[in-house]
A and B are shown apart, each in its own frame.
Chain A
Amino acid sequence: MAPLLEIRDLHAEITGGRKIINGMNLTINPGEVHAIMGPNGAGKSTLSYVLSGKPGYEVTSGEVLFRGVDLLSLSPDERAAQGMFLCFQYPLEIPGVSNMAFLHTAANSQRKQRGEPELTSPELVRKVRELGKQLGIDTDMLKRPVNVGFSGGEKKRNETLQMMLLEPFLSILDEADSGLDIDALKVVSNGVNAMRSPDRSFLVITHYQRLLDYIVPDVVHVFAAGRIVHTGGKELALELEATGYAQYQNEAA
């Protein structure tokens, strides 16, 4: 079985600034859920940005293969069309662009790039409404401009809706649990679990064991100072909750 994502000795820095990713290695096979935990400022969000192609970061060495393709040579939209999805830690607001129009454009842009037939408006509206119902997003929120005036939890639900609509192979969830109440946490987790399948994988970045009670990982990594310093099973998350990161930070230094 070919891996879905392979990161090999990745080094990356902020353009013209500090080095953040420092010799990162990670292999994710299809169907696996990997969790990444680590101290604030370790570079977890930066990793997610480098993988999704955000401008402002420079990969200085290493390589990343996604579905066998050199990921780093693709533009962000091409990565998305290849099946990469980043669930933002802080989703952005887009005044003047309705949520529905945004979802429509995104879904069909991806299909166009993959040479698949585009969805018609009624098809898309039906799909989005169905997902909205599952996630507790009402029709009014779908008409409103993307994320504008949404509460923190509503933004995260909206991210989940996008993920479920776009059906990516790899979803990177950057603190999908931050700002969520217990019910919303369940809603988002159920969304992820509903998508789990032998050919879909997830990279779940979180600070809290609680999310991993709902989205049960196959592998847990400790990420410190720009790389993975320790890897274990799902029980590692519980250990970390008790011990913190101190021992691993020494390892990283």
Chain B
Amino acid sequence: MAAEIRLMKTAAELALADAFATLKSRLPGDAAVAARRVDAFEAFAATGLPHRRVESWKYTDLRTLLRDAPPLALLPTPEQVAGAAAACPMLAGMDLRRLYVVNGAFAPDISDLAGLESGLTITSLASALAVGDPLVATHLGQTVPSSDAALALNTAFMGDGLVISVAPGALVTRPLHLVFVATEPAAVAMFTRSLVVLGEGARLSLVESHEGPSGVAYQINTTLEAVVGDGAQLDRLKLTLEGGEALHIATLLAQVGASATFANTNFTIGGATVRNQMLVQLDGAGTEARIGGVSLLAGKQHSDTLLAMEHIAPHCQSREQFRAVVDGAAQDIFQGRISVRPGAQKTDARMMSRALLLSDTAESDNKPELEIFADDVQCGHGCTTGSLDQQVKFYLMARGIPEKEAEALLIQAFVGEVIDGIAHEGVRAALSDATRTWLIERK
């Protein structure tokens, strides 16, 4: 039997093909969008679900993990929508403009669309696709090229999400909170896609949170495409707070212009299997990018982060900082690659990923990589994997601090190396609190 040759499609692949055949005429968008969906699905079908021989998916074998493809979520009931309004309590009380996506569909009734700052426009992806919104026509699927299979599936099935644009020069001071909530008590699949476009010199802060019921094996495949114009500034924080059995696949495609600032931080604490793949392309000179990630994993959680940072233009600076705290039999994966293209002279890039293992059965796979095709650059990367420093822990205990608290203090300091870089003070405090709660609840 030759494993290299695909003799048979898996049950999940067959179910996806069936679903696409049935649904494609009902998914939003005009003929051009429909054609893109078909192309995307065909591209997916040609390779099938990614598996361990696909380098970028080496540690997360979707072909094995996805035993089945559950049905697409139906539109939420009014009760489900109303219930979703209380989502993400860790950021409650903060002055954020909340925009809800419930069971994969934008929920205008509970979203805060009043008094939009001048220059800020917000629509749902479904309606943007339906009316042939020029922003979507110009940018969706055009930000960063990728042949990733999970992204192709997202393009084929994308149902709804948010389309946000900030006009040139507009500074949106009130952060947006995109609240993705799954409420269906049965296993369903959701495909959401969002687009954020910042005009020249525009500024926006964005929090994106994802959550759902524990004990339900729902699946979400979500994508955000971001276009950051010249001199613009986009700050994004993504919170993965999914239920304990969820499969969460998220793609970030960011195209960043000249003299811009782009900051992205992932905070992963929930979900059974989480994949965060980020493709960031620095297209214009003099740009700064800060990409960070924290994952706090326990039980059998599996979190796989992939970062491809492309330095295309010269004089850009990027900083990549990842921290994983892994307990139980959980597994954290970080694959990060900084590519410096020919011509991207004076690139200054530094990547560091560190994992802290709290148990003998915890696992971390840490693969930073540099790929440099320019000669006048400063690049560095490093990674460490280790357990808590017992000497330091003893030092804390010798001063009267009980063991659990000493450990908590050290772990908080460890993830603080990323969290402290978040600009929004309230959000920073909320993440510290969430970390503290996680540590207290840890057995």
Among the stretches A25-33, A92-100, A196-204, A245-253, the one at the interface with B is A92-100
Given that A97-B409, A105-B405 are contacting pairs, would A81 and B400 also be in contact in the complex, using a CB cutoff of 8 Å? yes
Main secondary structure, interface of B, reads helix
Chain B residues positioned under 8 Å from A91 (CB to CB): 395
* Known contacts A96-B413, A96-B414, A96-B416; is-contact A113 B395 (Cβ 8 Å): no
Say yes or no: is A162 at the interface (Cβ < 8 Å to chain B).
yes
Contact A162 B399 (CB under 8 A): yes
Beta-carbon contacts of A84-114 to B below 8 Å, as 1s and 0s? Answer: 0110100111111100001001110110010
Among B164-172, B257-265, B386-394, the stretch that binds chain A is: B386-394
Number of interface residues of A (CB under 8 A): 30
A77 touches B395 (CB 8 A): no
Across the interface, which residues of A come within 8 angstroms of B397, CB to CB?
53, 75-77, 80
- CB pair B390–A97 under 8 Å, yes or no, is no
In the complex, which residue of chain A has the Cβ closest to the Cβ of B401? A109
- Contact, CB under 8 Å: A97 / B413: yes
**Is B417 close to A, CB under 8 A?**
yes
Q: Does B398 contact A (CB under 8 A)?
A: yes
Chain B interface residue count, CB cutoff 8 Å, equals 22
Are the CB atoms of B410 and A76 closer together than 8 Å? Answer: no
Could you tell me the distance in whole angstroms from the C-beta of B326 to the nearest C-beta in chain A? 18
Max count, chain A CB within 10 A of own CB: residue among B399, B406, B409? B399
Is B409's CB under 8 angstroms from A77's CB?
no
Write out the residue numbers on chain A whose beta carbons fall within 8 Å of the beta carbon of B396.
94, 102, 106
Q: Give the complex CA separation of A132 and B229 in angstroms.
A: 50
A53's contact among B398, B399, B413, B417, by CB below 8 Å, is which? B398
Note all chain B residues with C-beta closer than 8 A to A110: 399-400
Q: Are A75's CB and B395's CB within 8 A? A: no
Residue of B nearest to A165 (CB): B399
Segment 73-132 of B: residues with Cβ below 8 Å from A? none
Total inter-chain residue pairs, C-beta < 8 Å:
75
Most buried by B among A77, A91, A109: A77
B409 touches which of A85, A86, A105 (Cβ 8 Å)? A105
A213 to B402, alpha carbons, bound, how many Å? 37
Beta-carbon nearest neighbor of B408 in chain A: A105
Q: Which residues of A contact B410 (CB under 8 A)?
A: 94, 96-97
Task: Report the bound CA distance from A75 to B402 in whole Å.
Answer: 8
- Nearest to B417 among chain A residues (CB) is A96
Closest Cβ neighbor of A145 among chain B residues: B413
Given the interface pairs A106-B401, A109-B402, A166-B399, the reply to whether A76 lies near B416 with Cβ below 8 Å is no
In the complex the two chains form, is B392's CB within 8 Å of A166's CB?
A: no
**Complex Cα–Cα for A233 and B405 (A):** 43
Residue of A nearest to B411 (CB): A96
The answer on a CB contact under 8 Å between B417 and A77 is no
| Cβ proximity bits A142-183 to B, threshold 8 Å, 1 near / 0 not | 000100000000000000001000100000000000000000
Q: How far is the CB of B134 from chain A (nearest CB, A)?
A: 47
The minimal Cβ–Cβ distance linking A64 to chain B, given in whole angstroms, is: 16
Does any Cβ of A come within 8 Å of B365's Cβ? no
Interface CB pairs A-B, < 8 A, 14: A75-B403, A76-B394, A77-B401, A77-B402, A80-B398, A80-B399, A81-B400, A92-B395, A94-B396, A96-B416, A105-B405, A106-B399, A107-B400, A166-B400
8 extra interface residue pairs, beta carbon distance < 8 Å, beyond A54-B394, A81-B400, A105-B401:
A53-B397, A55-B390, A96-B413, A96-B417, A106-B396, A106-B400, A107-B400, A145-B413
Closest 9 CB pairs of A and B: A96-B413, A110-B400, A80-B400, A106-B399, A76-B397, A92-B395, A77-B397, A109-B400, A109-B401
